[in-house]
């Protein structure tokens, strides 16, 4: 079987999932977006965002749930974040009521098949290294599950067709 190298989504689908990004904020009714699919080893994937899981309702963010600063995580390897979470849980130091941690653990507990079948695709970008653009919590959960690599959409490859 030949694996596809691209995937297409309707403009409304892209707007629903990626419309908060400037590039995808304008709607193009009836159009489609094409993205390149890439295989990325999880141990090469990094967190793009400085403050994963931080919100007005959860100022501690994901990493605050395991005793770290809420910020300062841009460029940090996803596998390292997952290891720190796993370590915090095993030592009984994790705040299991933290909403961002609950999200990661619910994905982990659901398993790889459920994570990869989520409606919103995992999106990555390549700069000097691979970064998660969309799906950080899911990528951390995959790392906790020991998944070696994933197929994701290359966020920067998007073209209107």
Q: What is the pLDDT of residues 107-148, one digit of tens each?
A: 999 999 999 999 999 999 998 999 999 999 999 999 999 999
Q: Which of 2-11, 103-112, 146-155 shows the lowest mean pLDDT across its residues?
A: 2-11
Q: Provide the residue range defining the domain that includes 97.
A: 39-148
Is residue 15 assigned to a domain? no
In a domain, residue 84? The reply is yes
Residue 37 has pLDDT above 70, yes or no: yes
| Threshold 0.75, pTM exceeds | yes
Q: What is the DSSP letter of 143?
A: H
pLDDT at residue 1 above 70? no
DSSP string, 10-30: EHHHHHHHHTTSGGG-S--TT
Specify the number of domains making up the chain. Answer: 1
Let me know if residue 22 belongs to a domain: no
Does residue 43 lie in a domain region?
Answer: yes
Per the structure block, which two tokens stand in for 10? 């309707």
Contact by Cβ (8 Å): 59, 70: yes
Residue 4 lies in a domain: no
* SS3 state at 79: helix
Using CB atoms within 10 Å of the CB of residue 48, give its burial: 0 to 12 exposed, 13 to 18 middle, 19+ buried. Answer: buried
């Amino acid at each position: 079987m030949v694996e596809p190298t691209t995937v297409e989504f309707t403009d409304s689908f892209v707007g629903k999932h990626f419309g908060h990004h400037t590039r995808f904020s304008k709607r193009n009714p009836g159009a489609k977006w094409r993205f390149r699919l890439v295989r990325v080893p999880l141990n090469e994937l990094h967190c793009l965002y400085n403050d994963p899981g931080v919100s007005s309702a959860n100022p501690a963010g994901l990493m605050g749930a395991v005793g770290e600063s809420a910020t300062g995580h841009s460029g940090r390897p996803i596998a390292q974040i997952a290891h720190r979470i796993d370590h915090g849980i095993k030592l009984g130091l994790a705040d299991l009521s933290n909403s961002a941690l609950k999200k990661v653990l619910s994905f982990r507990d659901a398993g790889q098949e459920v994570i990869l079948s989520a409606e919103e695709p995992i999106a990555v970008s390549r700069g000097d290294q691979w970064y998660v653009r969309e799906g950080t919590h899911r990528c951390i959960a995959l790392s906790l599950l020991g998944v070696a690599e994933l197929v994701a959409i290359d966020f920067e490859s998007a073209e209107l067709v």
